[in-house]
Amino acid sequence: MYPVINRVYAQNGECWSTPASSLNACWAALGAGADALVLQVFLTKDSHPVCAPCEALPLSMAGSSSLIRELSLESLQQLDAGLDFQSTKLDQNFQPTGEKGEDRPWRGLKQEHPLKDRQAVFFPSLQQVLELFSRRTALCLVLPDGEYPLMDELISECVTLMQRFGIAAQTTCFASLASLQKMRGLCDTCGLGLQQEHAPDMEALKQLCALEGKSIAVQLDAIQALSDAERQTLFQFANEHQLGWVYSSNSMPCAPSPQTLLALASYSCRIEAWLSQSALATRSAVAPSGLIFEESFTGKQLRTAYWSAGYSHINMETEISVDDALVINIHKGEKYSGGAAICLLPVHGDFDVQVSFHVANPHQATTFELAAIGIDPGYPHLENSDLNTRTANLTFDVHGAPPYASSERDQNDGFRCGWNNSFNFAKFEQDWSAASSNMYNKYGRDVGDGSKENLNGNLRLLRTGPLFNAYYRDKHNGEWVCSGTMLVQNMPKDTYLRLAAKHWHKVHPAPPNTVRFRDFKIHQA
């Protein structure tokens, strides 16, 4: 039987699918089910603690070999923290295969139109992290090794911030024994954890207990290299003093392998957490989800026991059909037009849903999505001539019927997330109709390749409480890339899932387009 690994700590956020240590990675980690954020901290030239995966910045990012301590906070945050991010392919056991994505989807990019700029992600200051997450999740700070020249000042600044935010007792600081002693000298309430590459000896554990420490973060390989007797001696002492073990592995950065889980089952120790670059992969490895529903859309008929399909507006510019795929065909036209199919199964609680797509002609003024909505679609509207005496039914519209959360392909710009945390409103200047105001629509920045050379892929939407992660795969990335995280507090516990496409008039009539959806799957833990 596998050990009970109830907690997953996110190392530098969900850095498997988003740029490490960015605020995006922090949100994505929580959206993927992480129980704590574990962030490495360093000090800038002007004495600001910042979060980054390492102090030495790559040449491609900084323009020259630079250390964080040599840059001001302003200069550091002008750099593109997502410049070199690539997706990492995992095998069926969630282990890296060595295959990387072919593009750099999270790079910042200046566009001709300022509204389409891809704003570069940045390394946040510790203060920025605390402003967002100090009351949302547990935080662990990892200090540099003992040779770090600014250690005393870094410890002082971190303690000042923890005390200012009132979270010293709820935060764990991982460091060497020498640094932990300095930390305890400044703060008698903060949590302390011993950080070591090699296995700690008994003397180190005794010193940790003398400092009232509570955790040991260590490479699992180092523990496995011990003899059974040595290991049991350490575990017995740790158990007697209520010390928890936080395991990680450089060879298994995203999840423990099945063999590792079996080995851990024989250890008589309290596993506080697994430290991972992917909370999603770790949770999938430890507690695989079940396949609740799947739809291939084979044949020519929509299974109306499971799907309700319809149009968003009365016009003849959109056609919905089934032809070994859910087909939403949009003709060239000047009107706002679209349609959708909505799964009639109410999905209760957290979920993981994905679908494959083919888009024939990605261009401006067209979008398609995989979305969660809070409205029961009720009945189909496939006549497209009288939408139950209304001119619109935005339950069947991309970005319609809030609250919603979507993973989407945005025009020919890229992939992104979109959400609305409001409710369904009638438009104020019109008679009541099944319409909704889009004044509260929000969108993440575009990620990846939205061009006409990138026509096939997958969309994925993951729910963890009020948080929704959007992901995609395409011809450049055989593994999932997170395109954003959404906080949608008003989404009900039971939701419905929508596959939708639309176009609208800009300066010129919108060109024709066809979107085909296949291989729709709902998983739940």
| Whether pLDDT at 418 is above 70 | yes
Tokens at 316, concatenated: 């003849």
What pLDDT, in 10s, does the model give residues 247-266? 999 999 999 999 999 889 88
pLDDT the model gives residue 438: 73
pLDDT the model gives residue 430: 56
More confident residue, 471 or 430: 471
| Overall average pLDDT of the 442-450 stretch | 95
Highest mean pLDDT range out of 7-16, 437-446, 506-515? Answer: 7-16
pLDDT the model gives residue 321: 95
What pLDDT, in 10s, does the model give residues 358-367? 999 998 889 9
pTM above 0.85, yes or no: yes
Q: Categorize the per-residue pLDDT at 436 as very low, low, confident or very high, splitting at 50, 70 and 90.
A: low
Burial 335-363 (b: 16+ CB within 10 A, else e): bbbbbbbbbbeebeebbbbbbbbebebbb
pLDDT the model gives residue 162: 98
Tokens at 337, concatenated: 């037009």
Tell me which residue of 407, 391, 434, 429 sits closest to 499, measured CA to CA: 407
pLDDT the model gives residue 335: 86
pLDDT the model gives residue 23: 98
What is the average pLDDT value for the chain, to the nearest integer?
A: 92
Q: Categorize the per-residue pLDDT at 1 as very low, low, confident or very high, splitting at 50, 70 and 90.
A: very low
Specify the DSSP class assigned to residue 44.
-
| Whether pLDDT at 432 is above 60 | no
Which H or E run includes 162? helix 151-165
Alpha helices in 57-102 (DSSP H): 59-62, 73-77
Please say whether the beta carbons of 125 and 52 come within 8 A: no
pLDDT the model gives residue 97: 97
Helix, strand, coil percent values for the chain (each to nearest 5): 20, 35, 45
What pLDDT, in 10s, does the model give residues 62-93? 777 689 999 999 999 999 999 999 999 999 99
Q: Categorize the per-residue pLDDT at 59 as very low, low, confident or very high, splitting at 50, 70 and 90.
A: confident
Q: What is the DSSP string of 406-436?
A: EEEEETTTEEEEEEE-S-----TTS---B--
Which residue segments constitute the domains of the chain, with CATH numbers given? 8-57+122-286 (3.20.20.190), 290-524 (2.60.120.200)
| Whether pLDDT at 463 is above 90 | yes
Alpha helices in 176-294 (DSSP H): 177-186, 202-210, 220-224, 228-240, 258-264, 279-286
What pLDDT, in 10s, does the model give residues 293-336? 999 999 999 999 999 999 988 888 899 999 999 999 999 888 88
Q: How many CB atoms lie within 10 A of CB 235?
A: 17
Please say whether the beta carbons of 89 and 478 come within 8 A: yes
pLDDT the model gives residue 3: 53
